Structure 1
Amino acid sequence: MIRRSFVFLEKVRSRKEQTIWQQGIKDWNDFLRAKEVKGISLSTKSYYDRQIREAQKALRDDNSSYFIGKLPQKEMWRLYDHFKEECCYLDIEVDSHGKVVVVGISDYYDTRQFVKGVNLEKGLLEKELQRYRIMVTFNGSSFDLPKLKKELKIKIDLPHIDLKPLCVNLGFKGGLKEVEKILDLKRPPHLYGNPVDLWKAFHASHDKEYLDLLLHYNAEDIENLKAVMIKMYKEMVKKI
């Protein structure tokens, strides 16, 4: 999808992109081959040609960060198909005071979890995030990422796909659990509780069973993020 996208070009938004597609220009190569594009001056086209070549080089170099600040935040989902093998899914858990106690980060196959008092450290998290090229969360723009940046001073330089506004755009309203139900994504009955209570119980009793359950809850959230991402990507491609 990213190679079909023109909204990363300066002053090109969805409506202009649609007019480009309607001229039979379906991807970057078509644009570069075209001698002229209706609605775009020759000097502007020359400028866009340079931007497209830069974007092509960024993809060849696996440089996803190139698109930060160029691709509108609401359009970051377009990077998913190209970078899905280097995508991380992130979800945090907090205590009753809103402080981060667990960070779960997963690629498509394995999940790594960072726990307060064990391995929840700035350096370890940043090292883990450096392995990836894009990040997926649910409501991470408002919740997960601000907390990580404030509490752990973590620097995050990854294009970020926030599933919540994508879901709302497609008519899937509510939190992650509500979206799971709409999409008929199942989770074990014992993982529908309140993770805050699990951490509180673990902190009070030091019974590892509570921590294991919290980590299982967090891992289940992440697994469902993957399924929601795939569904939303397919729906957005159809919509545009």
Structure 2
Amino acid sequence: MRIENSFIPVRGVGETTERRLWEHGITHWDEFDGSVVGETLADRISSFIDDGRRHLERGDVSVFADAMPAASRWRCYENVREETCFLDIETTGLDASCNDVTTVSLHQGGETKTFVQGRDLTSQRLETELEEAALLATFNGQRFDVPFLETCYDIDVTTPHVDLMYPCKTLGLDGGLKAIERELGIDRDMPDLTGRDAVRLWHEYERGDDAALERLVEYNRADTRNMKPLMEIVTTQLHQSVFESVCDAE
């Protein structure tokens, strides 16, 4: 499902109105003709479509992500698939005011980069990497990863953000990332390692064990790499349940 199939970012259009448009065959911006809704709302939708096309020409999906509920931001993915950055961090604890970020991994365009505290993990590097992404994807990053980075590195993450935890919940997929991976059959390197192990590995590295850092980095990288197939599965299933189910019933 692409952004051009969506009408809920328009002020005054909720899921019910959007569904009614789809049921009447208006499943794409190109098909909107002002019918089905009142004149005022029709004018608002037309203006939104005109502005929206200009945003998409620039590869900017921020206005759509900002206007959509968290559980619906997955709709932005298809438009900027190759420019989506999957991010995951490891820390020494859960409180950004007294704990540290140890590693940050980013997966985009088939390439995974990992930055390590005390080596190359800096505010400038993070800002540069995130500015190059059209869309940020995390799992529970809205409540954890992004605020943690903003607090510890004094940065403002403004990249449009899809937190996969919310569309997963829409599909009835509850629990942590690894539990959902198992349910969906997504394989993982080092499946027995946990977040607690990540803290332990960092402290072992601080005591001089370079092999512990290698394991920590690989664990962190696995999280970001596995979010890509998770995003593909989630968007496909939601496309079918949210969009195709209505269009096929016409």
**Shorter chain as normaliser: what TM range?**
over 0.9
1:227 aligned residue: 229
For 2:147 and 2:174, locate their aligned partners in 1 and report how far apart those are by CA, in whole Å.
22
Q: Alpha-carbon deviation of 1:189?
A: 3.9
Q: 2:238 matched to 1:236?
A: yes
For 1:187 and 1:48, locate their aligned partners in 2 and report how far apart those are by CA, in whole Å.
44
Instruction: State the TM-score, normalized to the length of structure 1.
Output: 0.93
For 1:166 and 1:106, locate their aligned partners in 2 and report how far apart those are by CA, in whole Å.
20
C-alpha change, 1:190 and 1:62, in structure 2 (3 Å) is closer
Name which structure has the greater RCO, CA cutoff 8 Å, separation 6+.
Answer: 2
Paired-residue identity, %: 30
For 2:167 and 2:41, locate their aligned partners in 1 and report how far apart those are by CA, in whole Å.
31
- Between 190-199 and 137-146, the greater mean CA deviation after superposition: 190-199
CA RMSD of aligned residues (A): 1.4
1:202 aligned residue: 205
C-alpha change, 1:191 and 1:154, in structure 2 (3 Å) is farther
1:104 aligned residue: 105
Question: What aligned pairs does 1:25-104 form with structure 2 within 5 A after superposition?
Answer: 25-31=26-32, 34=33, 36-38=34-36, 40-96=37-93, 98-104=99-105
Q: Alpha-carbon deviation of 1:191?
A: 5.3
Query: Residues 191 and 217 of structure 1 are in contact (CA less than 8 Å); yes or no, is this contact kept in structure 2?
Result: no
Structure 2 unaligned spans of 5+: 243-250
1:131 aligned residue: 132
Query: Residues 104 and 111 of structure 1 are in contact (CA less than 8 Å); yes or no, is this contact kept in structure 2?
Result: yes
Structure 1 unaligned spans of 5+: none
Letter in 2 for 1:69: D
For 1:88 and 1:28, locate their aligned partners in 2 and report how far apart those are by CA, in whole Å.
27
2:118 aligned residue: 117
For 2:116 and 2:26, locate their aligned partners in 1 and report how far apart those are by CA, in whole Å.
49
Q: Alpha-carbon deviation of 1:188?
A: 3.2
**Count of residues paired in the alignment:** 235
Instruction: State the TM-score, normalized to the length of structure 2.
Output: 0.90
Letter in 2 for 1:162: D
For 1:183 and 1:98, locate their aligned partners in 2 and report how far apart those are by CA, in whole Å.
33
